Amino acid sequence: MNIKVIITLLLFINSFVFAQDYSEQWEGHFSYLSISGIASNNDYVFASAENTIFKHNIETQENNTTTTINGLTGEKISYYYYSEIEETSVIGYENGLVEIVTPSAVLTIVDIFNKPTIAPNIKRINHIYENEGVVYLSCDFGISTYNLENLEFDDSYFIGNNGEQTSVRQTTVKDGYIYAATSEGIKRAQLNDANIIDYSLWEVLPAPTNDWKNIVTFNSTIYAINSSNSIYEYNGSGFINLANYTAVLDHRVNDNKMIITTATNCYVFESGFINTLTIPYQASYESNFTVATIANNQVFIGTQNNGIYRFNLTDGTNIDQIKPNGLLENNVFTINANNNEAWAVYGNYSLYFNPSPVKSQGFSHLNNDTWNNTPFSNLLGARNIVDVAINPFNSNQVFLSSCFDGVLELNNGVATTLYSINDLPLETWGPYTTTPNHLRIGKSTFDKNGKLWFTNFKVSSPLKSYDPQNNTWESFDFLSVISNPSAENGFEEIVIDQNNTKWVGSTKNGLIGMKENSGGVLLKKLTVENGNLPNTEIRGLAIDLDNNLWIGTAQGLRVLYNTSGFFSSSNPQAEAIIILDDGIPKELMFGQFITDIEVDGANNKWIATFDAGVFYISADGQETIYHFTKDNSPLPSNGITDMAIDHKSGKVYFATEKGMVSFNSNATESATNLENVYAFPNPVRPQHLKDPSFRLKIRGLVDGSNLKITDNSGNLVYETTVTGGTAFDWDMTAFGKHKVASGVYIIMVTTKDSEETTVEKVMVVR
């Protein structure tokens, strides 16, 4: 192979990344309601929704989705195109990334994204046009061309008046010319000119205005729309104004029709600019239009937040609605999970508990693997829902925290009561004592007696409880440890330990412990000065199976081991976890902004961060089992807003502002016998062992059982005691020293009372 071919091949390989399919262990939970792009052929409608794509079978009505689970980046899509010839989706992103989705793979093209000579703010892909196997990417800097057959970039055209970068909004081809709608006028060049990259060869057509945003070829005629939303026909020598619209969002030709879409109307034209159909917005659609396409004598109109509506092309009557099952929106604020169900809510408040802008949004409930979405109109006026608490004694009773309007009770998924300012002791924020809608309720949880506890921001008594069994309320102030709670920013996290002590995290006063005691209350505070916290801003709290309190702050992690002796100790201290990193002692999670901590059935810890993804660490914190980021997993963002573990299924949910995914950890609550012990994968093949993070998963264990692994000759290669949960992951080494060889390995599990023993065999092939 000659050196030129080698260099070309290397450049080709470096220009894209084959995305990994994570569908074996991960599931995606995204919204498909905000439609940003659309396409169609005789059999399918294809669409993009924020950071995902899906295809809808017109005949069977089935939907198939493609998300980060299948290899998409999770970034915001700016334009979507489907090539019928190549059976390939081409996705353009706001940050300049391009993804090619074929029937067998997802390729992420990084050429524009990585181009140092193009500023990050002008890499957006505005439009994609295909001609003879080449797609023309209209970008805010110019035009880039990509060959779909060879899967490689060809050239980039910088066609500003002096060769500089200029915004190109849309392109089309007619009679051997490529036309471009730009911020400097309508420009064209001969498509097959070998020097087309020379800006001086791009002719500026005489036009009434300079700023254009759309251009199409329809039945051998050029139509263009300027920034004032006026449409013109180009007759070969000049532009003729035909009509004026309000805020054109999309302009395309499809199925021998020209389509113009605005927020409130979809216009369909025949040859000669004959408007044969106008579909107007109606209140029943509950959302503005965004894009439209035509297939099989039907019009498919994408909307801003309600999926796709299908209409008859003949008379414009609405047929049905298309929306793959998913969330109400991608920006999930809080997730809770239990008994193979999950709940997602979408309210918000800032880092310092400002709920503005107040969101009027419903909630989502996952049941039987289907998301059921309840709209805001069914929430009795409760805005800005920020948390979910499920009654452990009655899973059909759920309480939602409204950081504006109070506490909303649901029964069997239906809102039944909104507890607001008239339900003492709920309090509104100080400046708004007479305004009911400043009742800022935060995080909540149930204790072992079935009483609901929740935080109430910026008030004199920030901890409240409600007993649904007898409809009684209680209020607790923190005045003995905090002089003026109503002036503080807020008290967010709340967890309850095995001794029924309530632990509340604040943003300025560290950790507050509260315990009811013989009719009174014990209160104590742990801070930076008196408790070894790295920061007073606490965002994550969790009680593990040993009753230790794990504390996540804006600047790192601490553990309070002596929770039982917290009130009797004169100087309780939270401790850092020190690990060895290449033999050097380091503090685990040093400096990390921790947003949440969850404990699974194996007593291992999931730690979410503000911008570094998720860490899965061993029970004692000495081993990092996984570190998931958007680069090595389907996480759509490294900023995790919340997590939840369904202890029945072992699924771990990760909520972000760009959607939610779940990981099948299989670390469920501890079993009571050894009937369901198994190991997987079995056999362990070479492709598994190539992954340095691979672990053999042993499941169905009992807390406290002894686990021994021997080779086929009976030589012991590993032994441990299972602490908590039903799971153990073996790193395929003999006591952590060297990798085990190929062969059959015996796994023997014995309960701690030695009454039960089970044996499993695993084949290892290196």
On the question of pLDDT at 726 being above 90, the answer is no
599-613-534-571 Cα dihedral, nearest 10 degrees: 0
On the question of pLDDT at 3 being above 50, the answer is no
What is the predicted pLDDT for the residue at 355? 87
Per-residue pLDDT band at 148 (split at 50, 70, 90): very high
Per-residue pLDDT band at 8 (split at 50, 70, 90): very low
Other C-beta atoms lying within 10 Å of the C-beta of residue 446: 19
- Non-local CB neighbours of 375 within 8 Å, separated by 6+ positions: 362
**From residue 204, how far is each of 158, 189, 190, 200, 214 by CA, in Å?**
14, 9, 13, 10, 16
d(CA 686, CA 706): 28
Q: Number of helices (H) and strands (E), helices first, in the chain? A: 4, 67
Q: Residue ranges of the alpha helices (H) in 17-163?
A: 111-114
**From residue 123, how far is each of 109, 114, 741 by CA, in Å?**
13, 10, 50
Q: Positive or negative CA dihedral for 451, 456, 461, 462?
A: positive
d(CA 19, CA 16): 9
681 preceded by cis ω (within 30°)? yes
What is the predicted pLDDT for the residue at 21? 84
Q: What pTM was computed for the model?
A: 0.86
**From residue 558, how far is each of 525, 540, 544, 575 by CA, in Å?**
15, 11, 13, 5
In a domain, 272, yes or no: no
Mean pLDDT of the chain: 92
| 538-590 tens-digit pLDDT | 999 999 999 999 999 999 999 999 999 999 999 999 999 999 888 899 999 99
Q: How many angstroms separate the most distant Cα atoms in the chain?
A: 94
C-alpha closest to that of 705 among 719, 721, 718 = 721
In a domain, 378, yes or no: no
Let me know: does 616 contact 606? Beta carbons within 8 Å.
yes
d(CA 747, CA 214): 66
C-alpha closest to that of 46 among 95, 18, 83 = 83
More confident position, 402 or 24: 402
What is the predicted pLDDT for the residue at 665? 87
d(CA 403, CA 499): 29
In a domain, 712, yes or no: yes
| 69-111 tens-digit pLDDT | 999 999 999 999 999 999 999 999 999 999 999 988 999 999 9
- Non-local CB neighbours of 717 within 8 Å, separated by 6+ positions: 709, 710, 711, 734, 735, 740, 745
Two tokens, residue 208: 């009434």
CATH of the domain at 696: 2.60.40.3110
d(CA 623, CA 639): 22
Exposure class string for 518-527: b at 16+ Cβ within 10 A, else e: eeeeebbbbb
Other C-beta atoms lying within 10 Å of the C-beta of residue 426: 23
- Non-local CB neighbours of 696 within 8 Å, separated by 6+ positions: 679, 680, 681, 684, 729, 730, 732, 762
Other C-beta atoms lying within 10 Å of the C-beta of residue 253: 16
Per-residue pLDDT band at 670 (split at 50, 70, 90): low
Given the structure tokens 């195109």, which residue do they identify? 81
What is the predicted pLDDT for the residue at 5? 33
DSSP state of 325: S
| 446-489 tens-digit pLDDT | 998 899 999 988 788 889 999 998 999 999 999 899 877 766 66
d(CA 29, CA 52): 11
What is the predicted pLDDT for the residue at 428? 74
On the question of pLDDT at 606 being above 80, the answer is yes
d(CA 171, CA 762): 59
Let me know: does 324 contact 63? Beta carbons within 8 Å.
yes
Q: What percent of the chain has pLDDT over 90?
A: 75
Two tokens, residue 750: 């014995």
Let me know: does 530 contact 512? Beta carbons within 8 Å.
no
In a domain, 465, yes or no: no
Task: Establish how many alpha carbons lie within 13 A of residue 680's alpha carbon, considering only the half-sphere containing its beta carbon.
Answer: 10
Backbone angles phi, psi at 548, to 5 degrees: -85, 145
DSSP state of 633: S
User: Would you call 374 exposed, middle or buried from its count of C-beta atoms within 10 A (0-12, 13-18, 19+)?
Assistant: middle
In a domain, 325, yes or no: no
Let me know: does 640 contact 585? Beta carbons within 8 Å.
no
C-alpha closest to that of 117 among 147, 94, 148, 142 = 142
How would you write 244-271 as a 3-class SS string? ECCCEEEEEEECCEEEEEECCEEEEEEC
In a domain, 685, yes or no: yes
What is the predicted pLDDT for the residue at 374? 97
Two tokens, residue 569: 């100790």
What is the predicted pLDDT for the residue at 666? 74
Distance of alpha carbon 18 from the chain centroid: 21
Task: Establish how many alpha carbons lie within 13 A of residue 755's alpha carbon, considering only the half-sphere containing its beta carbon.
Answer: 6
Let me know: does 435 contact 407? Beta carbons within 8 Å.
no
Please measure the distance between the N-terminal and C-terminal CA atoms of the chain and give it in whole angstroms.
33
**From residue 371, how far is each of 331, 367, 368, 484 by CA, in Å?**
15, 6, 8, 43
d(CA 514, CA 502): 5
| 737-749 tens-digit pLDDT | 889 999 999 999 9
d(CA 462, CA 246): 50
What is the predicted pLDDT for the residue at 12? 38
What is the predicted pLDDT for the residue at 721? 87
d(CA 32, CA 27): 15
In a domain, 706, yes or no: yes
Range of the domain at 737: 678-764
In a domain, 280, yes or no: no
| 359-383 tens-digit pLDDT | 999 999 999 999 999 999 999 999 9
What is the predicted pLDDT for the residue at 424? 66
d(CA 105, CA 70): 9
Q: What percent of the chain has pLDDT over 70?
A: 95
Distance of alpha carbon 229 from the chain centroid: 35
465-468-469-470 Cα dihedral, nearest 10 degrees: 70
Total of domains in the chain: 1
Let me know: does 756 contact 748? Beta carbons within 8 Å.
no
